[in-house]
Structure 1
């Protein structure tokens, strides 16, 4: 390809063909002058500088090409390697270690909104809820955190104008009230089925009625037939869902994590009992948390060993 030796042409060729180098000694003085001008524009360093600036703005650690980077020393070689293959590099703020909290919200066309329940993933910011142990309702949120995320969920649903059921997912910093909205599901999911089973609130039935133009104030509770659907359910139990990765029973089964999996759910009055039930369902040969029957004296406890 033959083009005039101009700065704009050189920049366009670098972006298009991802060149590894530029030889300035083959086209006379024009090429040398163009190389000097190109160097003065900082174009060759612009992508790297943008990457370093973005990482500094987000604060470490950051996520670079599916890898976590904790400091500047780790970022520079990774940026050089990435920009050698592509002209663009995506840098995201890392949410590693943040809590993943979900809220199930229902809204009708008259702007009546209720929160059916919330749930918390035990695994911090798991990529998919199907891959994480989920607890309903959340157990580690303070009252302020719970009410903050609840109000934000309702604002999101109203802002988007959603009629029916909606699932809003948050990443919450455990050391502050900083949060991010990471996903909004406007459809019934397996998490919605879990919420319906735990609360007794028929999300599928209510969503269908709302789509037909009815309001939450007019719909009676499908279970009690006394109260109305505009009342938020009150939970007197704890539910835990665990995905069992029992791949030994399947020949030539792929170990790649995907959307297809099975789940076990247990409902109880306490967190410990529900967790124990789930563990027993995950593996029939495992009896869960067992008691420690060894007798320990005070001398053994106080000893340094």
Structure 2
């Protein structure tokens, strides 16, 4: 292959099972302030606009959080950014990678502002007009509550579109849930996004072969919560080998009654389905499309499924009370 300046070759290297995170910064050209680090719930590979995220992070090591703060401030200073900047990161094999740095306001700015009680847009405007960060007097503070951002999708208006997530952004809006625990904040965010998680009933679990080793922990969580589990053959056999009970259900091409019948007849209250991909002999998009058609909440990543289990558990344990944003802000020290 002839490689010349006129015929360049782009070689991409993908990070497997990487956790994605991002940080918004306010900078004055010589210094930068980072209110918080956001951890994405879905793994890297899902567009940041489509991924749910949580402030403060729930699973990142403190050393990685410190590294993200340090990198964000350094990059903002080196680029002489005045105003707002957003940087996206991936953490894989104990290494923090910088994915991209955008010297502009991000869609997450209003969310970070509300969770952290920092008026980022107003402060950035003051800096762009000549003020310096040291004059404003910002300082890092501990956030005692959790804020979960969830994406809102238009798939209910496009019934023939497969609602699978990937590197291309498909969401048309975002919502925010705030609570004293991560689980409850996630549950609130799902309610706001009109994904009403069930408190009991039956869950369908059908995942691709590569996800089967990891799905057992999620199935155990839902079993402890009292849910019944229906699973397709491969997933059923994988769960059985781990001692987790489930009822086998047929795929559409295997006969009837099948998954589509179960969803249509109201026998399934939540669908957990990771796509089998283009290498599969059979198309499994009908599962996700049926869930949308009959208004059954659906989840297409294992990370979101685990968060959903935590959310349901938290909602059961704690009576949800109305708490104003000002009350949450008063508790930030």
TM-score category of the 2 structures, normalised to the smaller one: 0.5 to 0.7
Q: Which residue is equivalent to 1:122?
A: 41
SS in structure 2 of the partner of residue 204 of structure 1:
helix
Residue in 1 aligned with 2:174? 263
The answer to whether 1:95 aligns with 2:15 is yes
Contact 2:31 2:77 in 1 (8 A): no
Contact 1:120 1:139 in 2 (8 A): yes
- Match of 2:88? 169
User: Aligned with 1:120: secondary structure?
Assistant: strand
CA distance in structure 1 between the partners assigned to 2:243 and 2:106 by the alignment: 53
1:179 maps to 96
**Structure 2 CA distance for partners of 1:216 and 1:278, relative to 1, 3 Å:** same
2:74 paired with 1:140: no
- 5+ long unaligned stretches in structure 1: 1-44, 48-85, 220-227, 295-301
Q: 1:138 to 1:250 in 2, by over 3 A?
A: same
Which residue number in structure 2 is paired with residue 195 of structure 1? 112
Of 137, 143, 157 in structure 2, the residue corresponding to residue 235 of structure 1 is: 143
Residue equivalent to 1:279: 190
Q: How many residues align?
A: 204
Q: Deviations over 1:152-192 (max 9, x none)?
A: 1111111111112211111111x32x232111121112111
- Identify which of 225, 236, 247 aligns with 2:155: 247
Check if 1:107 corresponds to 2:18.
no
CA 1:91–1:231 in structure 2 vs 1: closer, same or farther (change >3 Å)? same
- Relative to structure 1, the CA distance from residue 259 to residue 287 in structure 2 (aligned partners, 3 Å threshold; closer, same or farther) is closer
What does residue 13 of structure 1 align with? Answer: none
Q: CA deviation at 1:254?
A: 9.7
Structure 1 pair 262–254 and aligned structure 2 pair: CA distance change class (3 A): farther
Is the counterpart of residue 160 in structure 1 residue 79 in structure 2?
yes
| Cα distance change, pair 113–189 in 1 and its aligned pair in 2 (3 A) | closer
Counterpart residue number, 2:277: none
How far, CA to CA, are the matches of 1:287 and 1:170 in structure 2? 30
User: In the alignment, what sits opposite 2:123?
Assistant: 206
State the secondary structure of the residue aligned to 2:35. strand
Q: 1:279 deviation in Å?
A: 2.3
How much does 1:94 deviate?
Answer: 1.0
After TM superposition, the score normalised by the length of structure 1 is: 0.58
Structure label with greater radius of gyration: 1
**Contact kept in structure 2, 1:279 and 1:288, CA below 8 Å:** no
After superposition, the Cα gap between the structure-2 partners of 1:237 and 1:304, relative to the gap in structure 1 and judged at 3 Å, is closer
1:6-25 correspondence runs (5 A)? none
Unmatched segments (≥5 aa) in structure 2: 201-224, 229-241, 246-333
In structure 2, the partner of 1:292 is: 226
Q: CA deviation at 1:143?
A: 1.5
Q: 1:252 to 1:218 in 2, by over 3 A?
A: same
Deviations 1:20-44 (A, max 9, x none): xxxxxxxxxxxxxxxxxxxxxxxxx
Partner residue of 2:135 out of 218, 224, 249: 218
Specify whether residues 231 and 89 from structure 1 end up closer, same or farther in structure 2 by C-alpha distance, changes over 3 A only.
Answer: same
Structure 1's 94 and 287: CA in aligned 2 closer, same or farther, altered over 3 A?
closer
Q: Secondary structure at the match of 2:75?
A: helix
User: Which structure ranks higher in relative contact order (CA pairs < 8 Å, sequence separation ≥ 6)?
Assistant: 2
State the alpha-carbon separation in 1 of the partners of residues 91 and 243 from structure 2. 41
Call closer, same or farther: CA 1:207–1:288 in 2, change over 3 Å: farther
